[in-house]
Structure 1
C-alpha cells in the first residue's frame, strides 16, 4: 500500500462511538462501516482493536486504526508503540496517532515511535495535528500523512473548535508539506467536503455527521432553540 493509504479525493468515514452512545461496541461499528462502504466510502477510521477487528472482518477496504488509551488532557490518540501494534494486529492498514509535540506518556519521541511503527509493523503513519507548527513537527518526525483532526481540541492558541472544519489549516498544510493532507474534524455538509478538497486535501474524513445519530439529533434539536 502506498503512503497515501487512500485514493486521491476520497471520503473516509470515521466509525467511532463512545461508552455513552447506544451504538458503542464492535458489532454496531461493523454494521456502520458496512453501511459507509456501501455508500461509497474509500476506507474507515476506527478506534481500538476490538472495533478494528470486527470491521476488518466485514470490510475489504483500508482501515485507519487508532487506539485511544492515553490521557484525555494530553496525548490520547495511539500514544505508544503497544497501542499502535494492537490495532495493526487487529487488521488496521495504517495507524493514526497524536502528532503534536506534547510530551508522550512513555517519555519517548514521536520520531522514534513513527520509525518503530514503520520498521516493526510495516504500515504508514498518519499524524493528527492541531496547527501548522505541529504539522511541520510531525512530517519532520517521519509521518506519511498529516491530518487536521486535533484542530480546536488541544488547548493551544486558537484552539477553540468552531462549528465547521478548519479549512485554513488544511490550506496551510497543503501549501507547505510534501505529503498527503487529510482534512478531518467538523465536516457536516457536501459543500464543506468539497471545500476541503479545494483547500488541498488528499482525503476528507467524516465522522459524526455520518455515524453518530445521537449527535446529529442533538444538533437539529438545538437549532430550534
Structure 2
C-alpha cells in the first residue's frame, strides 16, 4: 500500500464515528471508555473483541450475524482496519467499533468483567523463543484477558500455525485451564462452530489456497 493511500485512510478514519484512536498516554492515564463501553454503544449487549483484527473481517462478519452483541476490533494498523470500519458504516452496523492501539494495553481499555468473548484470528505465531513475550496466548496475555473477561467468558484462537495451536494447548493444559473445543483442521473434521467455518479472513483464504490446515481452540481463562 502506497504512503498516499495510507494517509488518505488515516484521514478517513478520523471522520469515522466507529473508530476510536486514543494515545498511549491517554490510555495509561485512565482511558475514558474503560468500564463504560455500553455507554458508547448505547445498550447493555455483550461485548466481543477481535484482537489484531487486521482488515476487520471477523469483527464485521460476527456483527452481521449477531445484532444482539457489540463487536470491537483492535489493531495498531489503522490503514488496515479502515476497510472493516468503512464496511460497517456502509452496512449501517451500529454494533461495530474499531480501536487503534497496541494489544498489550487491552487490560487498560476494558473494565473487570466487561468483555464476554475474545477472538484472536491468525496472529503472528512469534516462533523464535526470544519472541515468546509477543505471543498473544502467552501467560502474560492470558492474565490480561482474565482481568477483563466475565466469569463465563471465552477466548477463541483461529490460526494456520500448528506451532501456535500446539503451544497454546500445551500452556492451557499446564495452567489447568478449561479447553472447551480444539480442532487441528476445522474444514476436514466435523463439529466446528459455524462462526469458525462461515467467516474467512483475507489471509485465511490465501492459506486455504495453499492447502494449509486451519486450526481452532476455544478456551476459558477463569
Which TM-score band (shorter chain)?
0.3 to 0.5
Max Rg structure: 2
Q: Which protein is richer in helix relative to its size?
A: 2
Q: Which protein is richer in strand relative to its size?
A: 2
RCO comparison, higher one (Cα < 8 Å, 6+): 2
